[in-house]
């Protein structure tokens, strides 16, 4: 009996293998295939699911209005759990599916593991939110939709100096995180040029970030009236809560990773009042309302963050470029890659995260940095 069962199982497996082969590469001229990977489960899932939803909205819009050019998008997402190896596997699976453009990954570490393969395969890759400089520097066909970390850090320093926001600056950062370190490097280098007075610099690591009270107390003791927090919303909520408890009220300043601080479940948004953060996307601005309402419908009323908007922009930038260069579903990934690479050198793109965006030869984006201040629980342009 067991033997029969085993044979049936084996037969089923072989059948499944052939089934997988058959449906592989059916190219339809009117449909381009875009794939993405991101952390759809696991600790970083909040970013992956946001990007995925933003991309899906863009794809739906494009397919609904495809009458103009006749070109549609077939979109497929895969989970990489914020893990380099899984991202590479997911990328290969997408390639077998017939992916022409790779709109991922979401987080930096998986980007760095997939990028060399994308260079080798000559697949056009644009990450919505992987912000390390190393990603774009991997090859000429790797592009970024978000600022690189040192670039954003420098922009932050520029803003602080221009608006004369600080006399004594404190910095708390995550020394185990490339994103956080990159921002601090950029901020300090530019800050030194501009004569910013940094009096306290303290850090934590991913292993001991569960208690940041010492770091906040250090900034308080050093007399900082301005604290730069180049990390994610979760830790920011912790810092803000503790600072409020001990009655410490400097100006807190965050970067794009802090986007989403207002939507943390259970967080008293009154604590974030007066917080300034660099973000290219403002969900309370008039021109983003259409996207915001679509996103809320899709995600049970959650307000989109910058990651969702980046995902949305990535799809549109690739799609518009394809229409302009005459790429369709039959163009091979490598041909499409060569065409887009050439096109992006002179491309100017307007999207949700800024207008007049351009890319340099390395594939890094240039756009106007924007900051918002939180007033009455809403983002207001700063």
Partner 1 sequence: MQIIQYLINGISIGSVYAIIALGYTMVYGIAKMLNFAHGDVIMVGAYISFCVTNYLGLPAIVSIIAAMAVCTVLGIIIEKLAYKPLRGTSSLAVLITAIGVSYFLQNAAQLIWGTAPKNFTSIVTFKPFSFADGALVITGEVIITIAASVLIMVGLTLFTGKTRMGKAMRAVSEDRDAAQLMGINVNQTISMTFAIGSALAAIAGVLLCSTVPTLQPTTGSMPGIRAFTAAVIGGIGSIPGAMLGGILLGIIETFSKKYISTEFSDAIVFAVLILILLVKPTGLLGKQVQEKV
What single DSSP character describes residue 362? T
Smallest distance, partner 1 to C-beta of residue 48, A: 9
Taking alpha carbons only, the member of 360, 337, 369 closest to residue 137 is 360
User: Looking at beta carbons only, is 78 or 216 nearer to partner 1?
Assistant: 216
CA–CA distance, 136 with 131 (Å, rounded to integer):
9
Contact flags string 177-216 toward partner 1, x per CB under 8 A? -------------------------xxxx-xx-xxxxxx-
Taking alpha carbons only, the member of 198, 207, 204, 231 closest to residue 216 is 204
**Judged by CB under 8 A, which of 234, 251, 320, 358 binds partner 1?**
234
User: Should residue 377 be labelled a site residue for partner 1 when binding is judged by CB under 8 A?
Assistant: no
Contact flags string 263-302 toward partner 1, x per CB under 8 A? -xxxxx----------------------------------
Tokens representing 303 are: 């307000």
- Per CB under 8 A, contacts with partner 1 among 17-36 are none
What angle is formed at CA 182 by the lines to CA 177 and CA 183, rounded to 5 degrees? 105
Select from 117-125, 134-142, 183-191, 234-242 the region that touches partner 1 (CB under 8 A): 234-242
Smallest distance, partner 1 to C-beta of residue 16, A: 27
Smallest distance, partner 1 to C-beta of residue 205, A: 5
CA–CA distance, 357 with 371 (Å, rounded to integer):
16
Three-state DSSP at 369 gives: coil
- Within 10 angstroms of residue 300's Cβ, the number of other Cβ atoms is 6
Residue whose tokens read 């949305």 = 312
What is the C-alpha radius of gyration for the chain, rounded to an integer number of angstroms? 22
**Judged by CB under 8 A, which of 52, 149, 177, 235 binds partner 1?**
235
Tokens representing 298 are: 């899709």
Count of residues interacting with partner 1 (CB under 8 A): 36
Three-state DSSP at 231 gives: coil
Q: What's the longest Cα–Cα distance across the chain? A: 81
**Judged by CB under 8 A, which of 32, 34, 36, 46 binds partner 1?**
46
**Judged by CB under 8 A, which of 137, 140, 217, 251 binds partner 1?**
217
Binding residues for partner 1, per CB under 8 A? 41-46, 175-176, 202-205, 207-208, 210-215, 217-218, 221, 234-235, 237-238, 241, 245-247, 264-268
């Amino acid at each position: 009996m067991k033997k029969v069962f085993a044979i049936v199982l084996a037969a089923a497996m072989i059948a499944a293998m052939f089934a997988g082969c058959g449906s592989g590469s059916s190219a339809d001229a009117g449909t381009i295939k875009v794939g993405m990977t991101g952390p759809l489960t696991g600790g970083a899932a909040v970013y992956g699911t946001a990007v995925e939803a933003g991309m899906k909205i863009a794809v739906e819009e494009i397919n609904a209005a495809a009458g103009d050019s006749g070109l549609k998008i077939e979109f497929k997402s895969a989970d990489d759990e914020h893990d380099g190896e899984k991202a590479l596997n997911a990328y290969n699976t997408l390639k077998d599916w017939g992916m022409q453009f790779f709109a991922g990954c979401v987080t930096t570490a998986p980007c760095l593991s997939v990028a060399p393969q994308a260079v080798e395969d000559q697949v056009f890759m644009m990450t919505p939110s992987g912000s390390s400089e190393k990603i774009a520097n991997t090859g000429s066909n790797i592009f970024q939709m978000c600022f690189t970390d040192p670039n954003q850090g420098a922009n932050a320093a520029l803003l602080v100096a221009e608006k004369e926001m600080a006399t004594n600056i404190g910095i708390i950062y995550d020394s185990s995180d490339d994103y956080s370190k990159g921002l601090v490097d950029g901020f300090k280098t530019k800050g030194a040029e501009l004569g910013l007075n940094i009096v306290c610099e303290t850090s934590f690591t991913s292993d001991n970030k569960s208690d940041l009270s010492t770091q906040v107390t250090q900034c308080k003791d050093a007399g900082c009236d301005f604290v730069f927090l180049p990390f994610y919303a979760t830790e920011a909520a912790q810092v803000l809560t503790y600072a409020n408890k001990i009655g410490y009220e400097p100006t807190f300043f965050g970067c794009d990773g802090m986007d989403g601080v207002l939507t943390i479940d259970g967080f008293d948004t009154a604590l974030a009042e007066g917080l300034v953060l660099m973000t290219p996307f403002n969900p309370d601005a008039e021109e983003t309302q259409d996207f915001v309402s679509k996103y809320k419908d899709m995600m049970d009323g959650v307000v989109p963050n910058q990651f969702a908007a980046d995902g949305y922009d990535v799809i549109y930038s690739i799609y518009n470029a394809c229409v302009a260069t005459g790429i369709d579903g039959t163009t091979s990934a490598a041909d499409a890659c060569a065409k887009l690479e050439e096109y992006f050198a002179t491309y100017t793109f307007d999207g949700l995260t800024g207008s007049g965006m351009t890319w340099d030869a390395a594939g890094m984006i240039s756009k106007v940095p924007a900051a918002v201040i939180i007033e009455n629980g809403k983002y207001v342009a700063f």
